[in-house]
Amino acid sequence: MWRSLILAAGLIACLIPTGTLAQENLKSVTVEIYLPESAQLFIEGQEMKSKGSKRLFVSPPLPPGKYAYTIKMINPDSDGPRTVTHQIEVQPGDFESIDLRAPDKRPITDVEYEPTPQKVVDALLRLGKVTRKDVIWDLGCGDGRIPVTAAKVYGCTAYGVDIDPERVKDSLSSVRKQGVGQLVTIEQRDIFTLDLSKGPTVVTLYLLPHLNAKLLPQLRKLPPGARVISVAHRMADIKPDEQIVVETELGDFDVYLWKAETLRGN
């Protein structure tokens, strides 16, 4: 069914008259695709003209709904061409990223480092109604700005984990510079191995829609009263309990909050 929605998407975009309320609800899907430089890329059977090791696909503006795109890569190889096909499930407004390179050519990270602007960090901690009694875990902590700010401003304890040793170094250096070593712990860990059932009362994420969905079984084990805050990305189909938009020099950032109970469906 999703496939037919996609095929209809381009047509729908053309049929909706300019200026109608319906058109205001239309949003594009953006997918960045990592692949070998010389590979051919096909989306829904159509060859993309762009070249390079990172290519960007932007859909036509789409009405709300669920869509699936079939992404195929043909990589010329010395042993003959290698074909990889990947199906991605998206919703209008999503930004997604997929990596079609061979596993030994991919980075260790599931998502590239991109810091949350400080204005958004401040806003998300306010949205989470953080107090000094909270325990904040930032999953994929980058340079540690979320745990460091939480400790400095609210005096709470915080834990940042990142799989990338360079980011762990950056975080530890920021913890030292800001003098919050008593409150903040940083570790090199893979977020998908963490037990979230005991430690955190607030979990912060700036990942991707498919990674948020993959984390859901872990997030559903959070203790009652815990909150999950995601920068920019939805959590599967689960309606957030709260949502804000923060204006920054880099553009508007959506920030979503779910209570642990909402994620569990009760």
Ligand X SMILES: C[S@@+](CC[C@H](N)C(=O)[O-])C[C@H]1O[C@@H](n2cnc3c(N)ncnc32)[C@H](O)[C@@H]1O
**163, 196, 215, 238: which one contacts ligand X (CB under 6 A)?**
163
Taking the complex as a whole, the smallest distance from the CB of residue 170 to ligand X amounts, in Å, to: 9
Q: Any idea what DSSP says for residue 152? A: I
Mark the segment that binds ligand X (CB under 6 A) among 20-28, 85-93, 160-168, 213-221: 160-168
**9, 92, 138, 246: which one contacts ligand X (CB under 6 A)?**
138
Quote the CA–CA distance of 188 and 172 in Å, as a whole number. Answer: 11
The reply on whether position 113 binds ligand X by CB under 6 A is yes
The reply on whether position 167 binds ligand X by CB under 6 A is yes
Nearer of residues 127 and 146 to ligand X, judged by Cβ = 146
Mark the segment that binds ligand X (CB under 6 A) among 31-39, 107-115, 151-159, 235-243: 107-115
The reply on whether position 42 binds ligand X by CB under 6 A is no
Asked whether the beta carbons of 201 and 134 are under 8 A apart, the reply is yes
Nearer of residues 43 and 98 to ligand X, judged by Cβ = 98
Location of structure tokens 């090199």 = 188
The reply on whether position 96 binds ligand X by CB under 6 A is no
Asked whether the beta carbons of 144 and 170 are under 8 A apart, the reply is yes
Size of the site for ligand X (CB under 6 A): 23
Task: Let me know the angle formed at the C-alpha of 136 by 209 and 138, rounded to the nearest 5 degrees.
Answer: 40
Alpha carbons within 13 A on the beta-carbon side of 87: 7
Quote the CA–CA distance of 155 and 131 in Å, as a whole number. Answer: 8
Residue 194 in 3-state DSSP?
Answer: coil
CA 189 to chain centre: 18
The two beta strands, 54-58 and 30-34, are antiparallel
The reply on whether position 115 binds ligand X by CB under 6 A is yes
Nearer of residues 62 and 168 to ligand X, judged by Cβ = 168
The reply on whether position 145 binds ligand X by CB under 6 A is yes
The reply on whether position 110 binds ligand X by CB under 6 A is yes
Taking the complex as a whole, the smallest distance from the CB of residue 123 to ligand X amounts, in Å, to: 12
**94, 99, 134, 162: which one contacts ligand X (CB under 6 A)?**
162
What are the start-end ranges of the H helices in the chain?
2-15, 21-24, 118-127, 145-149, 165-178, 209-219, 260-264
Positions in the binding site for ligand X (CB under 6 A): 109-111, 113-116, 138, 140-142, 145-146, 161-164, 167, 190-192, 206, 231
